Structure 1
Amino acid sequence: MARRRSRPTGPTEPCERYVRLAPLDVEQEMALALSARAFFSPSNYQKSCQTIGKVPSSRSILPLSGLDFMEFLKATELIGNPDRYIYQVRHLLERMTANNILVEVSGADSSYVMMPKSYYALSEISTIRSAGTLWLGKTLGGRFLHRQISPAIVQIAGKNAEGEARAGSGLVFDPHHILTCRHVVSEMQVDQTQSFQGREIAIDAKAIAEHEALDVAVLHVPEPLHAVAGLAFLEPFVTQTVYTFGYPRIPCALPTEDGNSPLVVQRGEVTASAVSMIGTADLFLYSAIARPGNSGGALVSDEGYVVGMATDLTEGQYCDVSPFLPHYAGIPAQVISRAVDEMDLGVQVPYETFD
């Protein structure tokens, strides 16, 4: 009996993958984290159950599960088709647990293998940090910190005695005040018009205050700028992960739309929390590379605290092109806070008191 030949078939169309593997956008992750903290909060137990149509216990506040949170995302439409992002949501809840924002409850219902854990949100946030979201820094990582901190980092431009363009960095710590290094503003003639946050801002030379002994200066700006909500300063400690934010000189780089150099962020760690230097206050050392132009830029910890400001162990010249400096120095947050107080400007840096 002759065998029947099978008919050749053409290439089959690949099936669309159901789950999404790409990472969520920073803003989406932040919205999910804030929603998760509220959803799992014991004080919101009744409200959370009502939102997902679950009958709450009348005798106690029970932990809610990851599956419950997925139902919450469907009910609130915080993200479309949340089941397609179950990997990202599960990973986010695990990171929130690792960073002490959520508490995992053992022995709770684990019938759904993709979301087997239950949680309470039992963390507290200091008063100063509760005004913003930087307390999520360690959970959401460097790209989140970049998104939050970058708008407050400005480039301060000017010219040296020979008329050559020079620049440094600064941090908007108050709507009308920018923190920078004294050597940034003393070693050049600051341009009377600066491009800050996409706007042209007039700067009066009389509005630049310099500390008489420390490498700290403050610029007063007449028009309000955007300051990061919940921004707080805190003393650095050794081995702490830090990010440098600033505008180092980049040869041949074209300016951005606002006319500034590209903002550069780099990660490192604190290598010495206190180093006494001849003729200056105590500094601290870190491993992230700081280049000419970084001076005055913020040094931000992975927890979202401003732990210092980039300065220079050398002469601090903007034209310095040394390919390697063995140590990168910063002015610690507690020294900056004291310096601004001593300048008596009627403003204080927001220093963490853990109230």
Structure 2
Amino acid sequence: MISLLIKKITNKQIILFNKHRNVLPIVCNKENRSHFYFLDIDLFWRYIPFKTSDKRKHKIMYVLLNVINPKFIISMNWITARESLYKVWTAKHPQSKFIVVQHGAYVGGFVTNIPHRYTKCDVFLTWGSYFVDQFSKYNHKKKVQIICYGNPIYNNFVRENYQYKNNNSNKVLLLPKATDYQNLNQLYKLIKKLNELNFEVVIKSHGKQGSNELNTDGTLKYPKIKGVKQINGVLYPILQSNDYDFIISDHSSSLLDTIFFKNKVLYFDPKNKVNGYETNYSNFLVNLFEEDFSSISKNSFYELLSIENQEALLHNMIYMGNNSIDSKILSENKK
């Protein structure tokens, strides 16, 4: 076994990982790299012949896992056939564990997609105690370790270095999730109102917005947003610059990103309650969509802001960790 040989020579073990933005901070952690060798598992999949749908591809990967014998396999989900294979393999090799890192806030903290509720891994690293509670309820009969780990991306930042903006610039940023025709019309109503109040409105669209993804009837699933200034680029530097009086976001993780970097935020979510659920965001923030924003004044937008409430939301959902694969995970791995 390669892993045992390497451990004997270097006292390090092998971790296979999925190259995802929420996994990479763990991979790049200096302390982790002093104890483990990290190998990109996607490279193995890429160079195995046969199509993904061909069972022979998965059989070859299973053999490779036997040869490599990794201590951990780290991914950002348990949904695909590949990830099911990891769980099957670790079930046969209890000294190894399949670890999944939470990679989103779901729908404002509410898990609407049933397959995402029920873990198919050995260890689930969540963003905070709120998610530990949620997934512990869903999986109380399963043998899985659900750990309060923190958002790996946030863990790399010192939040005390950021400050809330005191002055006004009349600039507003919109950060919507990928939006369909129905909800896009609601967003246009909001943009129209902001323009009427002479706000300088810009929008950073979701990566899927304007893509060629189609509905079953052949129409565009996420049509291109028109009639408003668009900005591109990586989100975090935009949030770190703190150029906007406030940022309007929906039930996506971007709302938590906004708060983390100490931007003032308004919550605007046409889907909340209408679809039969209530997001955790709405337990802390006023949902602008449910207000009569068509008759709201400019000052009222500012009055709806609450740093106290948004800080309470962040504290409720996010734990600050250090991204180390520490004794807590290793000790729980032995149970």
| TM-score, scaled relative to structure 2 | 0.26
- CA radius of gyration, larger in: 1
More strand by share: 1
Q: Which gives a bigger RCO, structure 1 or 2 (Cα 8 Å, sep 6+)?
A: 2
